[in-house]
Structure 1
Amino acid sequence: MTHFRIGEAASLLGVSDDTLRRWVADGILTLGHDASGRQVVDGSELAARAKAMATEASDVGDVRRSARNRFTGLVTHLEIDGLMAQVELQCGPHRVITLMSSEAAREMKLEVGSKAVAVVKATMVILETERDAAQ
């Protein structure tokens, strides 16, 4: 069984330790104990919460999209140069950088501090996991 300590579980969900503890107190998540007696959250329960949070965040009204990867964040850097613009978003713990036309950036009235949603549609995704210490 995969389990995560409170700090790591909170980080994976993009919330504070206090928020995770509040969810435990409210019955949204449950705590168990690992072999050392430390408080942990079951990985499958954490995954279900992450999925529920993503569903809540993706509710955008009457718009339908084929892309499921949506990252809401704040513009942290904007560089408009000639025909192209580079836009950097901070979406929770994720940094997303995109290139677009300068015209589009201006029409969207993007500026540092603006809220924006990066919608990603890709045909290939590479996953990485940490190696076990025994490997």
Structure 2
Amino acid sequence: MQSYRITRAAQLLGVSDDTVRRWIDQGLLPVTDAVPAEIPGDALAARTLALAAERDAADEGHSSARNRFTGIVTRVQIDGLMAQVDIQAGPHRVVSLMSAEAARELRLDVGSLATASIKATHVVVETPKG
């Protein structure tokens, strides 16, 4: 089974190394016997799901879309009837094309907090080389 060092686990969870170490100390994340400490992949996956459930419980609305990326709007480009809106959600950049009217109604500006909800029938899954 794959395991992850603390720094990589923190990147994948979108938290700091210190937060991961705190969760280890609290018993929320187990570690292997490896030196330096590593977190088993299945435990990291379970913690990821728990964090997602906590975020979902804090959300006020309901949606059939399960892929939600909350982040900061980094670009709004309006050209005629259409707008391109870029959101940086942790390490993920999400680009949305929408009507200019919708972008204006949502008052999307650089620095705004926004959530991209994605529902797709085709999702490409990739794994690292090696």
TM range (shorter): over 0.9
Match of 1:11 in 2: 11
* C-alpha separation in 1, matches of 2:26 and 2:91: 25
Match of 1:111 in 2: 109
* C-alpha separation in 2, matches of 1:123 and 1:42: 30
**Deviates most, 15-24 or 119-128:** 15-24
> Among the aligned pairs, what percent are the same residue?
54
* C-alpha separation in 1, matches of 2:32 and 2:108: 45
Match of 1:81 in 2: 79
The secondary structure found in structure 2 opposite 1:33 is coil
The secondary structure found in structure 1 opposite 2:87 is strand
* C-alpha separation in 2, matches of 1:125 and 1:80: 27
* C-alpha separation in 2, matches of 1:116 and 1:131: 33
Match of 2:95 among 94, 97, 108: 97
Question: Residues 102-127 of structure 1: CA distance to partner in whole angstroms, max 9, x if unpaired?
Answer: 11111111101111110000001111
Match of 1:48 in 2: 46
8 Å contact from structure 1 (residues 58, 70) kept in 2: no
CA apart distance, 1:38: 2.1
1:15-54 matches, cutoff 5 A:
15-34=15-34, 37-54=35-52
Structure 2: unaligned runs, 5 residues or longer: none
Return structure 1 stretches of 4+ with deviation > 4 angstroms: none
* C-alpha separation in 1, matches of 2:33 and 2:10: 16
Match of 2:70 among 69, 72, 80: 72
The CA RMSD measured in Å over matched residues stands at: 1.1
Q: Which amino acid aligns with 2:87?
A: L
* C-alpha separation in 2, matches of 1:44 and 1:95: 26
Match of 1:122 in 2: 120
Structure 1: unaligned runs, 5 residues or longer: none
Q: TM-score, normalised by structure 2?
A: 0.93
